[in-house]
């Protein structure tokens, strides 16, 4: 008997933000791949806490390349066997993943497809072409789309996919369009296998309407609102929400929504090694520098990126933001928790690498709508 819930093979899964959005939207996560053991442990911990079922085909710890014939032909054959086996019990199979992106990031290493991480994008595309899932999702930083040399590489990946039989649609999205309190641009590429589309007789066209149904706000309109700018930092100050903004897109709204002060990860934040005097000199809302950006409570956050010495300060506390607060900025449900055994560095790294939950949920629903599944 086949299942109406499409099956998902997840690659570069991290702590599972993207997967969670798909699972809560009606997909079935059957296979999980992640190279970092700390991220994998967090993924498993959160699933147990949320009482979600274990993936049918288990957790696979290792580089995605380890299951491609670029590295190990036996492993590639094993993945193909799992996909074929899955087809016996699921009507639809999809691959989702966001290969590590620092090599394409403007603020990162910028090594492109020659970098160790950059190579993984080609590996992921090759996995798709070898296994031919009915659809796939590929997520990456905007540098892959905006930077000329990286864009050429991206176009070559698309050609490979089209040659394999995929019909593609792409969009440079901003997470804030989907209700995430964060100005975060990402390129999303979605493909549907041509034979599969013809088989289920889908008549929808992959045009702009495909992307718009599950957006909640217009990016252009959001950025035009009279958001508060900078003001002197005052610890534990009280500041009413101003008129003429969108409260649900603000940091403070999500801090309250997720009860961050009572969250299990509330006390997980970095303590400064030296004095804290420099913290007080940064105005609330001053996010102009690469590091030591202080959030404004009544504005959305800059991109949640906590590596490369980028530090985000609490709007009205004399400290950096906590893990609980970072999770709220990524729009995770209040009951999503990272394990205490995880290092602070890995906690923040996994959060910064993850796809915001509301965005992942919207992408999942967009695909479901296209597949005409209610």
Per-residue pLDDT tens digits for 289-329: 888 899 999 999 999 988 667 889 999 999 999 999 999 99
Confidence of residue 200 (pLDDT cuts 50, 70, 90): low
Per-residue pLDDT tens digits for 173-191: 999 999 999 999 999 999 9
Q: Tokens in use for 262?
A: 């009572």
Straight-line distance from the first to the last Cα atom of the chain, in angstroms, rounded to the nearest whole number: 19
Confidence of residue 2 (pLDDT cuts 50, 70, 90): low
Per-residue pLDDT tens digits for 20-36: 999 999 999 999 999 89
Distance (Å, rounded) from C-alpha 363 to C-alpha 190?
9
Judge whether residue 67 has pLDDT over 60. Answer: no
Average pLDDT on 55-67 reads 74
Average pLDDT on 66-92 reads 75
Q: What pLDDT sits at residue 372? A: 73
Q: Which residue's entry shows tokens 């997520």?
A: 139
Catalytic residue chosen out of the listed positions 101, 129, 241, 305: 101
Provide the mean pLDDT of the chain: 88
Q: What pLDDT sits at residue 148? A: 80
What's the CATH number of domain 7-217+356-370, 1.10.760.10, 3.40.640.10, 3.40.50.150, 1.20.1260.10? Answer: 3.40.50.150
Kindly report which listed range (83-97, 192-206, 243-257, 325-339) carries the lowest average pLDDT score. Answer: 192-206
285 or 209, greater pLDDT = 285
Q: What pLDDT sits at residue 374? A: 39
Confidence of residue 195 (pLDDT cuts 50, 70, 90): confident
Per-residue pLDDT tens digits for 261-286: 999 999 999 987 765 677 789 999 99
What share of the chain has pLDDT > 70, as a percent?
86
Q: Is 101 a catalytic residue?
A: yes
Q: What pLDDT sits at residue 68? A: 44
Average pLDDT on 348-357 reads 96
């Amino acid at each position: 008997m086949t299942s109406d819930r499409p099956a998902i093979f997840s690659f570069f899964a991290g702590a599972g933000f993207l997967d969670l959005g798909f699972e809560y939207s009606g997909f079935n996560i059957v296979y999980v791949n992640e190279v970092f053991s700390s991220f994998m442990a967090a993924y498993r911990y959160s699933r147990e806490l949320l009482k979600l079922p274990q993936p049918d085909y288990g957790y696979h710890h290792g580089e995605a390349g380890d299951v491609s014939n670029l590295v190990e032909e036996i492993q590639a054959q094993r993945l193909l066997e799992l996909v074929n086996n899955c087809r016996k019990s699921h009507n639809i199979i999809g691959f989702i993943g966001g290969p590590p992106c620092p090599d394409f990031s403007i603020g990162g290493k910028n090594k492109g497809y020659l970098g160790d991480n950059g190579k993984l994008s080609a590996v992921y595309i090759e996995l798709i072409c070898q296994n031919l899932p009915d659809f796939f999702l590929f997520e990456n930083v905007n540098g892959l789309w905006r930077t000329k040399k990286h864009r050429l590489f991206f176009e070559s990946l698309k050609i490979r996919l089209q040659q394999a039989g995929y019909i593609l649609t792409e969009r440079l999205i901003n997470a804030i369009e989907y209700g995430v309190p964060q100005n975060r641009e990402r390129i999303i590429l979605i493909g549907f296998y041509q034979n599969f589309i013809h088989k289920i007789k889908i008549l929808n066209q992959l045009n702009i309407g495909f992307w718009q149904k599950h957006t909640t706000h217009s990016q252009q309109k959001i950025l035009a609102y009279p958001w508060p700018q900078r003001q002197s930092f005052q610890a534990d100050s009280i500041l009413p929400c101003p008129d003429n903004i969108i409260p649900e897109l603000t940091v403070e709204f999500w801090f309250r929504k997720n009860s961050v002060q009572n969250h299990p990860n509330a006390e997980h934040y970095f303590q400064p090694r030296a004095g804290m005097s420099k913290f007080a000199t940064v105005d609330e809302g001053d996010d102009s520098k690469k590091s030591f950006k202080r959030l404004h409570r009544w504005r959305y956050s800059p991109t949640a990126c906590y590596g490369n010495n980028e530090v985000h300060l609490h709007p009205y506390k004399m400290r950096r933001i906590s893990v609980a607060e970072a999770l709220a900025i990524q729009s995770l449900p209040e009951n999503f928790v990272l394990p205490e055994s995880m290092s602070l560095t890995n906690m923040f790294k996994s959060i910064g690498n993850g796809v915001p939950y509301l965005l992942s949920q919207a992408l999942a629903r967009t695909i479901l709508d296209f597949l005409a599944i209610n």
